[in-house]
Amino acid sequence: MKRIYVNEEWCLGCHLCEYECMYANSGLDAMFKLKGRTNEFIPRIKVEGDDGSQIHFAVNCRHCTNAICVKSCIAGALSKDEYGVVRINKDKCVGCYTCVLVCPFGAIMPAPDGKAAQKCALCTDNIMGEPNCVKNCPNNAIVFEERD
Amino acid sequence: MIDMFIPPEYEVVRNTELCIGCRVCERQCANEVHKYDKDLGKMIADSTKCVNCHRCVALCPTHALKIVKSDDTYKLNYNWPQRAMNEIYRQAATGGVLLSSMGNPTENPIYFNKILVNASQVTNPPIDPLREPMETTVYLGKKDVEIKRDARGRLKDTLPPQLKLTTPIMFSAMSYGSISYNAHESLARAAEELGIYYNTGEGGLHTDFYKYGKNTIVQVASGRFGVHEQYLMTAAAIEIKMGQGAKPGIGGHLPGMKISDDVSKTRMIPKGVDAISPAPHHDIYSIEDLRQLIYSLKEATAYTKPVIVKVAAVHNVAAIASGIARSGADIIAIDGYRGGTGAAPTRIRDNVGIPIELALAQVDERLRQEGIRDSVSIVVGGSIHSSSDVVKAIALGADACYIATAAVMALGCHLCRSCHAGKCNWGIATQRPDLVKRLNPDIGKQRLVNLVHAWTHEIQEMMGGMGINSIEALRGNRLMLRGVGLNETELRILGIKHAGE
């Protein structure tokens, strides 16, 4: 399946992807409307590496073949769909955060409302069409492609 | 004592309605203009540090930023414009020579803009390049050889080495050191894909790029940085740099802070020490001396590579070119006074040299008069803005054009003219690793390829319009050009008629 990959050689640590992710999943129709509301949303992609660091890379869900989060979910809220995308059903999620603890990439996090977990679904759960972090990366550091 | 404050020429303006405080501008500005202020709880900008490179404007996700010309003004004075006054203040404070980067920005005439191109109507039909062949291939090199036959009457191949270009455009010299590793990689890969050439400049060739040798012109300049046998053998052609359009008569100066480990290894000079190229080649004081260097280089490479001699366009350029053509050079490159640079004294950049259009017309004319035009190819550079400039240059007598300012603009350059500061926010004119990585060569290569493809299409369209189907037939075809708003002298020097004639 096509997944999002990050090449740390080209990641500048500019954090644009985080804001593009917030916007993509905010339901707002213009990015500037995030003004004053950025604390209401939590990006599903996170840039690792502090500002002074030489190396940065953005991390989001790897959609693991044997996803440990799916196995560990006590409520059956996490599942892999027919394409291999790991999805979360917020209605089923009980907010136990076991998935948050077990994800080796730190790619699942509590949603802003604190009642359920949230994760990247490759922008299939919003109106962006293709992953918004990929579309707006200024240096081609984040790519969406098929790899073995 | 504090220096007298000089107000910034440009101001950063933030639309606070649109700013979401993502701090991308802050992270992307190597000049530390932007800052999130904790006390005020908002982003602020210090315009005095801004070089107007537009990196923040380009990356701001909500387009909340713009940079405007400051309306702060001294008392208006035609004789003493603000720029001239500020330069006095700067020199009074420092006692130093003013430095600038990129090409001469002054308001002298741009002759290409005063030349118009012809098109066919009725009598000889235009050609549609989408339906009929349109040849843009050019061969650069000596073409005046005698035809010789062997004992059995078969033609002997006596043609000296040629450079084959799929389109009459090459990337001109920019050294590794003045520009980054990723910029060089972008140029090299684009040249390979396009079937043209890029030029190493005087800074040697990084061993990683030897694999692009077939599309590389290596330069031998007065500093002789990074010149050795393998360097010469790897290349497709060798260029002797006698002068540069941005700074005729003086050498190069690469600040020590741009001499990183790799640059030092490639140039074969100590790390962190300023790299100074002398003004003259210390072994060249005459055309005969130049001939010695040309033949030394030819001997060293077994006569397999064309040798280019690059000179700045100066007052006697036609006579100089004639000398070069007789000295054994295969190609003459002429760089006009608008040509770019990574660092030059401002006064030299803005006041020395002549426009490339006039220099080219005179060189072509002189070489024709002397019957030696075929013994060299002519390549011109120094602010070729567009495909129409290429067409006009070829019609004035050039074989091909060198582009560099346009090429770095394809890589992201916004002509902020601060290359000499070494903090290029676009990852081009810098050696700081965190800035160099901002230029991903995959993107850079593609943008260069796109630019040259676009220009080639346009050149074909313009040639087709003139009813010409090959570059060969356009070269030196000055009847295809007319001047507009030029005086008698200018028209005579350009060798063209006025529009309407």
Which residues of chain A neighbour B59 with C-beta distances below 8 Å?
14, 16, 138
Is A125 inside a domain boundary? Answer: yes
Is A90 inside a domain boundary? Answer: yes
Task: Name the percent of chain B lying above pLDDT 90.
Answer: 94
Is A49 inside a domain boundary? Answer: yes
- Sign of the CA dihedral running B105, B109, B111, B113: positive
Asked whether residue B254 carries a pLDDT value surpassing 90, the answer given is no
Rounded to whole angstroms, how far apart are CA atoms B475 and B473? 6
pLDDT in tens, B69-94: 999 999 999 999 999 999 999 999 99
Asked whether residue B482 carries a pLDDT value surpassing 80, the answer given is yes
Give this complex's ipTM: 0.92
Rounded to whole angstroms, how far apart are CA atoms B192 and B173? 16
Q: Give the CA angle between residues A90, A96, A101 to the nearest 5°.
A: 105
Q: Is A71 in contact with A79 (CB distance < 8 Å)?
A: no
Q: Are residues A56 and A2 in the same domain?
A: yes
Q: Are residues A7 and A29 in the same domain?
A: yes
Q: Are residues A127 and A139 in the same domain?
A: yes
> What residue in B sits closest to A31 (Cα-Cα)?
B62
Q: Are residues A125 and A87 in the same domain?
A: no
Whether A16 sits inside 8 A of B437 (CB atoms) is: no
Which residue shows structure tokens 């926010």? Answer: B425
Neighbour count for residue B213 (Cβ, 10 Å)? 17
Asked whether residue B289 carries a pLDDT value surpassing 80, the answer given is yes
pLDDT for the residue B441: 97
Q: Are residues A66 and A51 in the same domain?
A: no
Q: Are residues A2 and A53 in the same domain?
A: yes
pLDDT for the residue B338: 96
Asked whether residue B282 carries a pLDDT value surpassing 90, the answer given is yes
Q: Are residues A55 and A1 in the same domain?
A: yes
Mean pLDDT along residues B118-143: 94
Neighbour count for residue A129 (Cβ, 10 Å)? 10
Neighbour count for residue B372 (Cβ, 10 Å)? 15
Mean pLDDT along residues B190-214: 96
pLDDT for the residue A51: 86
Is A35 inside a domain boundary? Answer: yes
- Tell me the three state secondary structure of residue B126: coil
φ, ψ dihedrals at A24, nearest 5°: -60, -35
Q: Are residues A50 and A70 in the same domain?
A: no
Is A144 inside a domain boundary? Answer: yes
pLDDT for the residue B32: 96
Asked whether residue A71 carries a pLDDT value surpassing 90, the answer given is yes
pLDDT for the residue B252: 83
Report how many domains make up chain A.
2
Residue B331's DSSP bridge partners are B308, B377
pLDDT in tens, B310-346: 999 999 999 999 999 999 999 999 999 999 999 999 9
Asked whether residue B297 carries a pLDDT value surpassing 90, the answer given is yes
The length of chain A is: 148
Look up the CATH number of the domain holding residue A140: 3.30.70
Nearest to B438 among A36, A38, A139 (CB): A139
DSSP B431-461: --HHHHTTS-HHHHHHHHHHHHHHHHHHHHH
Q: Are residues A128 and A55 in the same domain?
A: yes
Q: How far is A57 from chain B (nearest CA, A)?
A: 13
pLDDT category, B115, cuts 50, 70, 90? very high
Asked whether residue A148 carries a pLDDT value surpassing 80, the answer given is no
Q: Are residues A4 and A34 in the same domain?
A: yes
pLDDT in tens, B342-362: 999 999 999 999 999 999 999
Which residues of chain B neighbour A135 with C-beta distances below 8 Å?
none
Mean pLDDT along residues A16-22: 96
Asked whether residue B44 carries a pLDDT value surpassing 90, the answer given is yes
Nearest to B206 by CA among B173, B182, B238, B172: B182
Rounded to whole angstroms, how far apart are CA atoms B159 and B303? 11
Look up the CATH number of the domain holding residue A66: 3.30.70.20
Furthest-apart CA pair in chain B: how many Å? 92
Contacts of B219 (CB under 8 A, 6+ apart): B173, B175, B199, B200, B201, B202, B238, B239, B240, B241, B310
Nearest to B62 among A14, A31, A141 (CB): A31
Asked whether residue B491 carries a pLDDT value surpassing 80, the answer given is yes
Nearest to A9 among B17, B20, B437 (CB): B437
Is A111 inside a domain boundary? Answer: no
**Residue span of the structural domain in which A50 resides:** 1-60+120-148
Is A113 inside a domain boundary? Answer: no
Is A115 inside a domain boundary? Answer: no
φ, ψ dihedrals at B417, nearest 5°: 60, 40
Q: Are residues A3 and A52 in the same domain?
A: yes
Whether B443 sits inside 8 A of A51 (CB atoms) is: no
Mean pLDDT of chain B: 95
Whether B20 sits inside 8 A of A34 (CB atoms) is: yes
- Tell me the three state secondary structure of residue A137: coil
Q: Are residues A82 and A134 in the same domain?
A: no
pLDDT for the residue B2: 82
Mean pLDDT along residues A14-38: 95
Neighbour count for residue B92 (Cβ, 10 Å)? 10
Mean pLDDT of chain A: 94
Whether A139 sits inside 8 A of B440 (CB atoms) is: yes
Task: Name the percent of chain B lying above pLDDT 70.
Answer: 100
Choose, out of A6, A10, A55, the residue to mutate when testing the contact with B (most B CBs < 10 Å): A10
> What residue in B sits closest to A54 (Cα-Cα)?
B434
Residue B240: both structure tokens together:
């002797």
Q: Which residues of B140-174 are buried (b: 16+ CB within 10 A; e: fewer)?
A: bbbbeeeeeeeeeeeeeeeebbbbebebbbbbbbb
Q: Give the CA angle between residues A13, A28, A121 to the nearest 5°.
A: 60
Query: Residue B385 carries which side chain, given as an amino acid letter?
Result: H
